[in-house]
A and B are shown apart, each in its own frame.
Chain A
């Protein structure tokens, strides 16, 4: 055994089902002792065929299907889809609806980030913190239920607006929840960031450098934690965000430096909870009066959608990052193409540089640190004639240049 070369690396499979993974994905780790030498992963274990179902339905039905793409960021998918359809059909969304959409989206962000914080604590073996964060998360769930009627799968967004108004009596409930969270935020920051064991486990663990984050096109808190200043709410405002003050949260705002590690991802997500509270408060005070939907009658709405032709994309900053919906409609009841790109799709590849060189003990927290949402991400890949080819960055660039030329001529 003295010969170094005889110590072959051994393979540790993690997944498709494993306590560290909340959703199925298959990891193959090449280990050397406790250290990860190399890693590969295979998503695609939990495909549900939602796009297939959607392309056999009309946009009003699909809106409720999009709620079910993700159990956590339901409203982000709905909003992205609705915005794509609104652009194709040319429906103008009333301003009040935009504000209500933003409020729900921010509440979703609060509950999603708190849920993630609990999961992260559990992955670290800190179950008390899991129970604490999930208990305080309940209040945001209650408010969401009060506003939309549902705890998950809200069903609030419709093409052209929202399905329920926020009445003045509800302002008090929202306000109460916000002040609770603003009071709690300091405590949560203290519990997560000043805890010795969490710092020991998360600092300089699962580092994703700014360059890697850019190269891999990561989005959302994963990218921001590496110091990439991206946030759709700030870069390409949608809904009411154009009127609101939204600045991307970067870890150096809180700590003065960016490491791009798991700790920074905790910092970004927790600070975003506070930011969401401020945004909701701003929305409430600036929300204009008026209708909350462009077209109340669904039959009329369907008729508009049926006539529409064209293509559009809807982009929304979901809690996990950019959520992207592409819709093409060609004058039929169902859209001819509907493509969903969940935020985790852009983030999954960042696992590889994060995990390389780390210890087995850090695998769960690093895997969880990008807040993966695998059932939202998984798609079927159809390989025609058994031949496969890889489109590199250069290929894609060439294709897009060709398309631009085509459009110009």
Chain B
């Protein structure tokens, strides 16, 4: 690769990082505002997360006496960086994945686990019983939701592969060929089921109610984050925002990859910002249905209930979706139902 190519790529990465930070905080603000309105409250202004981060950055950064300082400080950095990096492998609006050639959906899945692991490490390093319990719960939750998540990813990619597309795991392929356009009616239902599974995995991935057992304010006083303050907490908060944006981007890339410029004719100079705005609108919608609506309408689960929900119910739904997609693929191949 030429020097210029590396420089362009670097510039894109910096731009995307800034977008991820700002967009993530914006999404958190929207989430809080929407939740407040559904609870008959006025709620904080949408810029509140920005104010919170600015405030946290000025605050004292306390390290508990029995913490492991290097790990304690490293965890928020890893969480933030790894969640930003995921976005480089995902299409954002009409911006194609910047590092798309270097990694695919499987890498994205691994990267998505890193912020959670960083939080676990930070929790264990805090030396607080609340954080320790929170870290244990976070690990259990991760083990619980990774399996249904893997089913979704494999199901979609397998169907794309069965349709004869090369490199079905690359985000570029997935985004360019929406699953809905490839499948027949049976596969459509299968894809819907997989979308449902992915939507239910979202609150757990983002540790929101009803799957926020690892932070559980009333039980563990913040759990994993209980000992964090100041700059470190701000970084975790930013990471939370970025993770929200990233997960919305994953759902959008897999299930709703359409761009405004693809649907409406528009001059090229308009397409880029219009698609970005459209992307934000889509992520707000995804966030609203997968996170805000759920967290407003439900109580927190116990950790054993979380595990049984994911391992039993969602895995079964996921497998059902997978089987429907397989049946659909063979039907299409046999020519019974036209795609």
Chain A residue with minimal CB distance to B221?
Answer: A19
Asked, given contacts A124-B300, A361-B213, whether A20 binds B219 with beta carbons under 8 Å apart, the answer is yes
Q: B-facing mask of A176-214, CB < 8 A → 1, else 0? A: 000000000000000000010110110000000000000
Task: Name B295-319 residues within 8 Å CB distance of A.
Answer: 296-305
Q: Does B70 contact A (CB under 8 A)?
A: no
Is the beta-carbon distance between A197 and B298 smaller than 8 angstroms?
yes
Q: Does A294 contact B (CB under 8 A)?
A: no
Interface residue from B38, B136, B209, B305 paired with A125 (Cβ < 8 Å): B209
Docked CA distance A11–B304 (Å): 21
Q: B-facing mask of A1-29, CB < 8 A → 1, else 0? A: 00000000011110000111000000000
Q: Which residues of the other chain, B, contact A121 by a CB distance below 8 angstroms? A: 299
Chain A: how many interface residues by the 8 Å CB criterion? 33
Say which one of A69-77, A127-135, A237-245, A377-385 lies at the interface with B.
A127-135
Is the beta-carbon distance between B213 and A197 smaller than 8 angstroms?
no
Q: Which residues of the other chain, A, contact B41 by a CB distance below 8 angstroms? A: 131
Is the beta-carbon distance between B221 and A18 smaller than 8 angstroms?
yes
Is the beta-carbon distance between B302 and A123 smaller than 8 angstroms?
no
Chain A residue with minimal CB distance to B220?
Answer: A360
Q: B-facing mask of A121-164, CB < 8 A → 1, else 0? A: 11111111101100100000000000000000000000000000
Q: Which residues of the other chain, B, contact A359 by a CB distance below 8 angstroms? A: 302-304
Is the beta-carbon distance between B300 and A128 smaller than 8 angstroms?
no
Chain B: how many interface residues by the 8 Å CB criterion? 30
Is the beta-carbon distance between A19 and B39 smaller than 8 angstroms?
no
Docked CA distance A123–B38 (Å): 19
Docked CA distance A123–B218 (Å): 6
Whole-angstrom distance between the Cβ of A25 and the nearest chain B Cβ: 15
Q: Which residues of the other chain, A, contact B129 by a CB distance below 8 angstroms? A: 10-13
Q: Which residues of the other chain, B, contact A19 by a CB distance below 8 angstroms? A: 217-218, 221
Whole-angstrom distance between the Cβ of B250 and the nearest chain A Cβ: 25
Q: Does A295 contact B (CB under 8 A)?
A: no
Whole-angstrom distance between the Cβ of A129 and the nearest chain B Cβ: 8
Task: Name B6-55 residues within 8 Å CB distance of A.
Answer: 38-41
Q: Which residues of the other chain, A, contact B130 by a CB distance below 8 angstroms? A: 12
Most A-side CB within 10 Å, residue of B39, B136, B218, B297: B218
Is the beta-carbon distance between A360 and B301 smaller than 8 angstroms?
no
Q: Which residues of the other chain, B, contact A34 by a CB distance below 8 angstroms? A: 133, 136-137, 303-304
Task: Name A196-236 residues within 8 Å CB distance of B.
Answer: 197-198, 200-201
Q: Which residues of the other chain, A, contact B212 by a CB distance below 8 angstroms? A: 125
Is the beta-carbon distance between B218 and A364 smaller than 8 angstroms?
yes
Chain B residue with minimal CB distance to A125?
Answer: B300
Q: Does A363 contact B (CB under 8 A)?
A: yes
Whole-angstrom distance between the Cβ of B152 and the nearest chain A Cβ: 24
Is the beta-carbon distance between A200 and B305 smaller than 8 angstroms?
yes
Asked, given contacts A19-B217, A201-B302, A361-B302, whether A132 binds B133 with beta carbons under 8 Å apart, the answer is no
Is the beta-carbon distance between B301 and A197 smaller than 8 angstroms?
yes
Q: Which residues of the other chain, A, contact B300 by a CB distance below 8 angstroms? A: 124-126, 197, 201, 361
Q: Which residues of the other chain, A, contact B299 by a CB distance below 8 angstroms? A: 121, 124-126, 129, 195, 197-198, 201
Q: A34-B304, A128-B38, A360-B219 are in contact. List 18 more A-B contacts (CB 8 A).
A: A10-B129, A12-B133, A34-B136, A34-B137, A121-B299, A125-B209, A125-B210, A125-B298, A126-B209, A127-B39, A128-B296, A128-B297, A195-B299, A197-B210, A198-B299, A200-B305, A361-B213, A361-B303
What are 25 A-B contacts with C-beta separation under 8 Å? A10-B129, A12-B129, A12-B133, A20-B219, A20-B221, A34-B133, A34-B136, A34-B137, A34-B303, A125-B209, A125-B212, A125-B216, A125-B217, A125-B218, A125-B298, A126-B209, A128-B296, A132-B40, A197-B298, A198-B299, A361-B213, A361-B216, A361-B219, A361-B300, A363-B219
Where the two chains meet, the residues of B that have a C-beta atom closer than 8 Å to any C-beta of A are: 38-41, 129-130, 132-133, 136-137, 209-210, 212-213, 216-221, 296-305
Where the two chains meet, the residues of A that have a C-beta atom closer than 8 Å to any C-beta of B are: 10-13, 18-20, 31, 33-34, 121-129, 131-132, 135, 195, 197-198, 200-201, 359-364
